[in-house]
Amino acid sequence: MNEVFVTVNGRERVVKFINSDKVIIDGREFRYDLSSENEFHYFLRLNKKTFDITKVAKDKNKIAILTEGNYFECKVQTKLEKNAETILAHSEKSHHKEDVVSPMPGMLLKIQKNENDEIAIGEPVLILEAMKMENEVTSPYSGTLKKIYVRENTPVEKGTKLFRIE
């Protein structure tokens, strides 16, 4: 099988499966066994210890898990995907261009910034009301607030595009 690039806690590991009980991580060989009870609950045996793993969320390049009370969000890429990302990053001079989406359903109460404002990472951009609490939605990047997709006093769903930082 091919190599998979996994980033856990900011550190990348190269994982290569040799067969169904041997895996190489960054050149070191481990014996493992992976089984599942259902699509949410897995058992991973690594050396002498068995770990219970529950799947919290998964999309194409991201897998979030809980094991032994520890939560991990892992970025996973094939070699091909990683190469593509590197090329893309170079061509865009590694500028962040990203739509920020609503983390939850709620009511958009207030927009605190204007388009074309310079925004620092962590700076609040708008106030979202959910569960009767006002929640500040902050910018995950520093950059220019290129576009605000939403209007005040409108409901938003989880995943609704809120604004774009470039």
Residues binding another protein (CB under 8 A): 1-2, 4, 6, 8-11, 13, 15, 17, 20, 23, 25, 30, 32, 34-44, 46, 49, 51-58, 63-74, 76-78, 103-106, 109, 127, 129-136, 138, 158
User: What would the two tokens of residue 96 be?
Assistant: 């962040």
CB nearer to another protein: pick between 64 and 150 = 64
CB nearer to another protein: pick between 90 and 131 = 131
Closest distance to another protein from the beta carbon of 93 (Å): 25
CB nearer to another protein: pick between 109 and 150 = 109
Closest distance to another protein from the beta carbon of 99 (Å): 16
Rounded-to-integer distance, Cα 26 and Cα 87, Å: 23
3-state secondary structure 104-142: CCEEEEEECCCCCCEECCCCEEEEEEECCEEEEEECCCC
Rounded-to-integer distance, Cα 14 and Cα 82, Å: 11
Closest distance to another protein from the beta carbon of 125 (Å): 12
Closest CA to 163 of 107, 99, 120, 110: 99
Q: Residue 70's beta-bridge partner residues?
A: 67
CB nearer to another protein: pick between 9 and 94 = 9
Rounded-to-integer distance, Cα 142 and Cα 146, Å: 12
Rounded-to-integer distance, Cα 55 and Cα 43, Å: 11
Closest distance to another protein from the beta carbon of 89 (Å): 20
Closest distance to another protein from the beta carbon of 39 (Å): 4
CB nearer to another protein: pick between 63 and 150 = 63
